[in-house]
Amino acid sequence: MRQKKKSRSVCCWSMLALVVLAIAAVILLIVMIKPTDDGSGTPGKPVKKYADALTLAMQFFDVQKSGKLEQNQIEWRGDSGLQDGSEAKLDLSKGMYDAGDHMKFGFPMAFTATVLSWAILEYGDQMQVVDQLEPARSSLKWITDYLINAHPSENVLYIQVGNPKLDHSCWNRPEDMKGKRPLRQVNTSAPGTDVAAETAAALASASLVFKSVDSTYASSLLKHAKQLFAFADKYRKSYSISIPEVRSFYNSTGYGDELLWAAGWLYHATGEKSYFEYATGKTAEAYGNWGNPTWFSWDNKLAGAQVLLSRVSFFGSKDVASNDVISKYRETAEAVMCGFLPKSPTATESRTENGLIWVSEWNALQQSVSSAFLAVVYSDYMHTSRTPQISCSGSTFKASDLRDFAISQANYVLGENPMQMSYVVGYGDTYPQQVHHRGASIPADENPSCKDGFKWLEADTPNPNIATGALVGGPFLNDTYIDVRNNSMQGEPSTYNSALLVGLLSGLVTRSSVVQSFT
């Protein structure tokens, strides 16, 4: 009897041990799968539609490349702009054409690089899961190589290749350009604080991207970034005032946002106290616009700077995270987020009936995609730091609410809209066929002169070449789109829109914690 009781006890303890081991195994599995707060969480399974769209969106940078193309993936593109910069004995052949034309505008091109860098820094591990990290780095370097060459001395920055009026009087392929490609520069006599600071932001952020893969190149990027920031700050004047002709194309409405944006990136890139003090000092008080949400765009970086510097509040050491001005950055970033959320008491009314953020009939999707990108980034700051909620005039919202908003904008862009069409060229069964893009509109075996090519602009036929991954301007306020090539208002793509789209899709393609430090 005693022996039998002993056997029963052994059996029970054995079963209990098995249960404990099973529970331990489940807990271990959860820990292995669940993203960790230090950013080491392994990305989850990719969402196919976002992975497919991201792969396409990345290809548009190849469509836009100038210079001698390396490992060209776009069969209808070839070498172009090989003599760009020659009048100043510089090699400005690289870089990217701005949109559907053949201009190289330094201001939006630098913004493209900054956003692409930011996307890689936040979501590089997720890009890697779908094999897009290396293409992203390659496209970024194509721009930063150009920007380095455009900065031949400390206080000189070339900010434009080509004459817009001459360029826009032609309709031909970039490979067939024969007109003059004059240069424009900012310097101590004709300063450009905004464009110099944006270029500093681009090179500083890119230095972080390349730090682990090419430290020599990263050091060069950072050296140029520091020089450009010093130039921008010392000689304060908008480039739109120094060079009035740019007002018709990329007019800057101020430079305070670029100074704060650049200081924020330089602080992240260097950890130097001087940049932190700059970002939280007199310039911040003058241009921070605390509590007033703004739209994030190639012209206004303020909302981006507020989200970027709120990062310090989430993940910085106690002495910097508790800084009063850093708190203002975060509070204003949260005001921006509250404006995006459709159920927030302070939700913006700038959206279509079907929920798309809509601010301007020209290039409407810029604000939609930029808002969604900022929302997914801020959502992931909350997720990683385990911040439970934000407050919007008494109503509370979770990180998942911001992510849902970002998803709504991405899904609209990819085809969940009244037109039932994708605004990303090549994605889905229905997308714009007459994109306002010279190279895409002219057969690759044709080489029309400057004026002869206009017959293709006016032709009512689909483009013979696919501008793969291009994000067109977008719909009108009533959610409609007119697919006519001469409709540049709705049908012209741009590299900076593509950078924002890449950032958004990279944040949605899978789920993982963001890193707590870029360095």
pLDDT in tens, 261-285: 999 999 999 999 999 999 999 999 9
The H-or-E segment that residue 337 falls in is: helix 324-340
pLDDT band at 218 (very low <50, low <70, confident <90, very high): very high
Q: Which residue has the higher pLDDT, 48 or 21?
A: 48
The H-or-E segment that residue 105 falls in is: strand 104-105
pLDDT band at 505 (very low <50, low <70, confident <90, very high): very high
Cβ proximity of 337 and 343 under 8 Å: no
CA distances from 262 to 153, 228, 305, 412 (A): 19, 10, 8, 32
Summarize pLDDT for 419-449 with one digit per residue, the tens: 999 999 999 999 999 999 999 999 999 999 9
Summarize pLDDT for 169-183 with one digit per residue, the tens: 999 999 999 889 999
d(CA 134, CA 308): 24
Cβ proximity of 413 and 422 under 8 Å: yes
Beta strands in 207-302 (DSSP E): none
- DSSP reduced 3-state for 16: helix
- pLDDT of the residue at 42: 77
Enter the tokens of residue 293.
Answer: 């949400």
The pTM score is 0.92
β-strand pairing of 183-186 with 157-161: antiparallel
Give catalytic residue positions. 436
Summarize pLDDT for 30-71 with one digit per residue, the tens: 333 333 333 446 788 999 999 999 999 999 999 999 999 988
pLDDT band at 5 (very low <50, low <70, confident <90, very high): very low
Q: Which domains does the chain have, with CATH numbers?
A: 38-508 (1.50.10.10)
Q: Which amino acid belongs to residue 362?
A: W
